[in-house]
Amino acid sequence: MEISIIILCLILSAFFSGMEIAFISSNKIYLEIEKKQDNFISGILTKLTEKPSKFIATMLIGNNLALVVYGFFTADLILNCIANLGFQLSGYTNLFLLTIVSTFIILITAEFFPKVFFQIYANSLIRIFAIPAYIFYRLFYYISTFFIWISDFILRKFFKTEGDQVQLFFSKIELGNYITEQMNSVEDNEEVDSEIQIFQNALEFSGVKARDIMTPRTEIVDIDLFDTVSDLKELFIETGYSKIIVSQNSLDDIVGYVHSFDLFKKPKTIKSVLMAVEFVPETILIKDTLSLLIKKRRNIAVVLDEYGGTSGMITIEDIVEELFGEIEDEHDLDEELIEQELKEGEYLFSARLEVEYLNGRYKLEIPESDSYGTLGGYIVDFTKDIPQKYEKINIGNYRFVIEQCSNKKIELVKMTVKE
């Protein structure tokens, strides 16, 4: 009988200790989401967490009661064992042995292991044990209320301060941990929930710089300020873009941009419909770039390198897509990018495919750089010009044949890995 009571007390002590640490360690965002699920457990969690200090007080009271009962029966059991073994020990020696043995058992079975376990699996266990926790919460409700009232009275009377009103606060770290857990739980063949992905993007948003998401210089489509409106119209049709950068002699002298809608005004010259751009350094954060563009009522920012030359360009849409993912508008081309393995070591690729994607998907080793992001950009960065159709280009361990191109960009490339 005594052993059964001792085991029960150890289990209860482990439960109270574990739930206390689980409540403290659990992700507060996870708790709030669970509370919104509109089921029985969510209702229990809502009641448990509406007054956090009372919940913690309840767990402490339960733990102390379990330890008192445990101590009473453990003392009797250990002393009887010593007597049955025939040892004649002094009172102090018995007390010392009793303290050592009972404390060791408590630390291992009801403190150390439960707290470590409940801390690791805090989110899951606080939900699993919500019902028994609520039973003890109601059972010790008035006792915990009384002790909290005493502690508040002492704080007000002698320390001139209010009692600690514990509340659930969300930190950026907790949001990051929650998102990481959700993303890690997704199988390889499943897509991450869009809301989770947006939260993940939002956390990373504050540290992203303009050079990280800009369209590199080699991929900018531009037209000269003194070209004809007919040339501009053809370029809009050819590229499918809604905005075209306007330069004067070179990309290092960008003077603005033109929107396709402005062609309906039947302009005589490109200059008559020219719209201003903003200029920003590569190192500026995109959140600051967005604020600047909104403040100046601009749509495009030209990204400058340390020497004042054009490094790339960034639009408001680029910044928004960094947060919310790909956004298609009425001007986006509904184009399926081509990627075919013709035979071992020989491929047919759309020039718009990302270098990082190709390296990962086809085990290639194409150098990556801030100067370009796509396969077409990589080739143009090497040639410093738009190649001609069927032109052969050797770069390192790769041979490229330009299958399709225009006077402004490469469209389709045959790529061969040299042996």
Write out pLDDT tens, residues 360-374.
Answer: 889 899 998 877 888
**Within 13 Å of residue 352, how many CA atoms lie on the same side as its CB?**
11
The answer to whether residue 170 scores a pLDDT higher than 70 is: no
CATH superfamily of 210-324: CBS-domain (3.10.580.10)
The answer to whether residue 184 scores a pLDDT higher than 70 is: no
Write out pLDDT tens, residues 213-266.
Answer: 898 888 889 999 999 999 999 999 888 888 999 999 899 999 999 999 999 889
Write out pLDDT tens, residues 1-48.
Answer: 788 999 999 999 999 999 999 988 887 767 777 777 778 888 888 888
User: What torsion do the CA atoms of 120, 124, 125, 131 make, to the nearest 10 degrees?
Assistant: 160
pLDDT computed for residue 181 by the predictor: 57
The answer to whether residue 186 scores a pLDDT higher than 60 is: no
The answer to whether residue 166 scores a pLDDT higher than 50 is: no
The answer to whether residue 54 scores a pLDDT higher than 80 is: yes
**Within 13 Å of residue 253, how many CA atoms lie on the same side as its CB?**
5
How many other C-beta atoms lie within 10 A of the C-beta of residue 100?
11
- In this structure, which CATH number among 3.30.465.10, 3.40.50.10540, 3.40.50.150, 1.25.40.80 belongs to the domain 339-417? 3.30.465.10
List the chain domain ranges: 2-158, 172-205, 210-324, 339-417
Q: Are 29 and 178 in contact (CB under 8 A)?
A: yes
> Mean pLDDT throughout 326-332?
51
From the list 201, 133, 151, 168, the residue with the least C-alpha distance to 26 is 168
Distance of CA 374 to the CA centre of its chain: 25
pLDDT computed for residue 95 by the predictor: 77
410 backbone dihedrals φ, ψ, rounded to 5°: -90, 140
The answer to whether residue 61 scores a pLDDT higher than 90 is: yes
Write out pLDDT tens, residues 277-306.
Answer: 999 999 999 889 988 998 898 999 999 988
Q: Per-residue confidence at 406, pLDDT binned at 50, 70, 90?
A: confident
DSSP assignment of 225-286: TTS-HHHHHHHHHHH--SEEEEEESEEEEEEEEEEGGGGGG--SSSGGG-B--EEEETTSBH
Q: Against a cut of 0.75, is the pTM above it?
A: no
User: What torsion do the CA atoms of 209, 215, 220, 221 make, to the nearest 10 degrees?
Assistant: -130
228 backbone dihedrals φ, ψ, rounded to 5°: -85, 160
> Mean pLDDT throughout 139-165?
79
Distance of CA 416 to the CA centre of its chain: 37
Provide CB contacts within 8 A for 323, sequence distance 6+: 198, 201, 202, 205
